[in-house]
Amino acid sequence: MLDSQRDSIGVALKKLGFGLNAENVEQLELAKQELIRQKPLVMAYIVDEVKDMMIGGEAALAVVWSGEAMEVMTEAGGGFKYVVPKEGSNIWFDNMVICKTTKNKELAEKFINFMIRPEIAFKNTDYIEYSTPNIGAMEMLDEELRNNEVAYPSNKIIENCEIFLDPGDFLKEYDRVWTELKAH
């Protein structure tokens, strides 16, 4: 399981039929109990190590982001499948941002403009194996990758997925549940 409170609690929330952005203490408690019941089956709560564990055959099942799945499937040469649960999942995005306190906004903007040039975005996507929203870069991808539902899920898959929203002050409840789960 991911060592990420929103991701792992989100898995349990979705399994129970709730939304990823639940702001209901009872729903979070039910999710916590679900995760506690599952805990004997969990080898570890990790993040980046999951790729190596899957490729090395130490684990046969993991919650991973689609880009990580692409890397595992490429490196392992087959034998793995990426599945979005029927209950749904989260839709996530990597972002480039400029902090409002930056000392060199113009250079940061130039870097972002460089990275979103289609030929550069293509090289980045080709190297890191994460999908791209850049249409020009996407057109440069080979057809097999462009049509790969791991990297570019269909609308049917996306319909049942959600974007994590900032829970505001309710984050303290997620923190509490996560701390109690990890201590159990």
The Cα–Cα gap between 92 and 66 comes to: 9
**Minimal CA–CA distance to 90: which of 160, 34, 166?**
160
Q: What's the domain range around 1?
A: 1-89+160-184
On whether the CB atoms of residues 32 and 41 are closer than 8 A, the answer is: no
Q: Write down the pLDDT at residue 74.
A: 85
**Minimal CA–CA distance to 18: which of 172, 178, 29, 83?**
29
Q: Write down the pLDDT at residue 120.
A: 98
Task: Provide the mean pLDDT of the chain.
Answer: 93
Q: List, in sequence order, the alpha helices (H) in 19-65.
A: 25-38, 49-55
Task: Give me the number of domains the chain comprises.
Answer: 2
Q: Write down the pLDDT at residue 8.
A: 96
Shared domain check, 175 and 117: no
The Cα–Cα gap between 90 and 15 comes to: 13
Q: Average of pLDDT values for 27-55?
A: 94
Q: Write down the residue that tokens 């990597």 correspond to.
A: 94
Q: What single letter denotes the amino acid at residue 149? A: E
Shared domain check, 63 and 100: no
Shared domain check, 64 and 44: yes
User: Where is 57: in which H helix or E strand?
Assistant: none
The Cα–Cα gap between 15 and 79 comes to: 25
Please state whether the predicted TM-score (pTM) of the whole model is above 0.95. Answer: no
Q: Establish if 70 belongs to a structural domain.
A: yes
Shared domain check, 73 and 125: no
What's the token pair of residue 74?
Answer: 């490429």
Q: Establish if 155 belongs to a structural domain.
A: no
Q: Write down the pLDDT at residue 90.
A: 94
Shared domain check, 169 and 118: no
The Cα–Cα gap between 170 and 27 comes to: 13
pLDDT at 77 over 80: no
Shared domain check, 168 and 80: yes
Q: Establish if 131 belongs to a structural domain.
A: yes
Question: Please, which pLDDT band fits residue 67 given cuts at 50, 70 and 90?
Answer: confident
Shared domain check, 120 and 52: no
Shared domain check, 100 and 84: no
Q: Establish if 152 belongs to a structural domain.
A: no
pLDDT at 93 over 90: no
User: Concatenated DSSP letters for 116-132?
Assistant: TSHHHHHHHHHHH----
